[in-house]
Amino acid sequence: MKLTLRVWRQQNAEAPGAMATYEVDGISQDMSFLEMLDTLNEELILSGDEPVAFDHDCREGICGACSLVINGDAHGPERTTTCQLHMRSFEDGDTIDVEPWRASAFPVVKDLVVDRSSFDRIIQAGGYISAPTGTAPDAHATPVPKPDADSAFEHAECIGCGACVAACPNGSAMLFTSAKVNHLNVLPQGAPERETRVLDMVATMDDEGFGGCTLTGECATACPKGIPLPSITAMNKEWLRANRKVRR
Amino acid sequence: MPLASSVVSMALATRADRRPSMTRTLWDSSVGKKTIMAVSGLIMLGYLAVHMLGNLKIFFGSDEFNHYAHWLRTLGEPFLHYEWALWIVRVVLVAAVVLHAVSAYQLSRRDLRARPTAYVHKKARSSYATRTMRYGGIILALFIVWHILDLTTGTVHTGGFQSGHPYQNVLDTFSTWYGNVIYIVAVLALGLHVQHGFWSAAQTLGVGSATRDRVLKTLANVLAVVLTAGFVSVPVAVMTGVVS
Ligand code: HEM
Ligand code: SF4
Ligand code: FES
pLDDT in tens, B155-168: 999 888 999 899 99
Q: Is residue B160 in a domain?
A: yes
Domain that holds residue B161: 32-112+126-240
pLDDT tens-digit map of B188-212: 999 999 999 999 999 999 999 889 9
Residues of chain B with pLDDT below 70 are: 1-17, 124-125
d(CA B239, CA B174): 7
What CA–CA distance (Å, rounded) separates A116 from A25?
A: 32
C-beta atoms of A102 and B15 within 8 A: no
Distance from the alpha carbon of residue B229 to the mean position of ligand 1, in angstroms: 20
**Residue B10, in any domain of the structure:** no
- The CATH number of residue B40's host domain is 1.20.1300.10
Q: Is residue B19 part of a domain?
A: no
Which of A89, A88, A117 is closest to A103 using CA atoms? A117
- How many Cβ atoms sit within 10 Å of the Cβ of residue A141? 7
Ligand at shortest distance from the CA of A61 = 3
Q: Largest Cα–Cα distance in chain B?
A: 81
The DSSP code for B242 is S
How many domains does chain B fold into?
A: 1
Q: Are A242 and A194 in contact (CB under 8 A)?
A: yes
In terms of residues, how long is chain B?
A: 244
* Residue B114 to residue A211, Cβ atoms within 8 A: yes
DSSP string of B115-158? Answer: --S--SS----S-HHHHTHHHHHHHHHHHHHHHHHHHTS-TT-S
Instruction: Return the pLDDT at A169.
Output: 95
Residue percentage of chain A with pLDDT more than 90: 93
Residues contacting residue A107 through CB under 8 Å, at least 6 positions apart: A13, A114, A115
Do residue B206 and residue A104 have CB atoms under 8 angstroms apart? no
B12: in domain: no
pLDDT on residue A246: 86
Burial class (CB within 10 angstroms; exposed 0-12, middle 13-18, buried 19+) of A66 = buried
Q: How far is the CA of A209 from the centre of ligand 1 (A)?
A: 22
- Confidence at residue B17, expressed as pLDDT on a 0 to 100 scale: 59
Mean pLDDT score across all residues of chain A: 96
Structural domain spans, chain A? 3-110, 116-245
Contacts of B16 in chain A (CB under 8 A): 196, 246
Tell me, in angstroms, the distance from the centre of ligand 2 to residue B193's CA: 29
Q: Is A212 on the interface with B (CB under 8 A)?
A: yes
Closest chain B residue to A219, measured at CA: B126
Do B120 and A99 form a contact (C-beta atoms < 8 A)? yes
Task: For residue B153, give Cα distances in angstroms to B64, B91, B100, B147, B157.
Answer: 22, 16, 23, 9, 8
Q: Tell me, what's the pLDDT at B2?
A: 42
Q: Which CATH architecture has domain A116-245?
A: Orthogonal Bundle (1.10)
Contact yes or no for A74/A101 (Cβ under 8 A): yes
Q: Above 0.95 for ipTM, yes or no? A: no
Q: Does B133 fall in a domain?
A: yes
B166 contacts B65 by C-beta, under 8 angstroms: yes
Spelled out in words, what is the top-level CATH class assigned to the domain A3-110? alpha beta
Residue-wise pLDDT for A1-22, tens only, equals 999 999 999 999 999 999 999 9
Shortest Cα distance from A207 to chain B (angstroms)? 9
Comparing alpha-carbon positions, the chain A residue that sits nearest to B212 is: A230
DSSP states along A83-119: GG-BGGGS-TT-EEEEE----TTS-EEETTEE--HHH
Of residues A162 and A130, the one with the higher pLDDT is: A162
- Residue B52 located in a structural domain: yes
Q: How far apart are CA A133 and CA A125, in angstroms?
A: 20
| This prediction's pTM | 0.92
**Is B120 a member of any domain?**
no
Nearest to A193 by CA among A100, A123, A94, A107: A123
Helix axes B177-204, A230-245, angle to 10 degrees: 70
CB A164 less than 6 A from any atom of ligand 3 = no
pLDDT at A33: 98
Asked if the structure places residue B11 within a domain, the reply is no
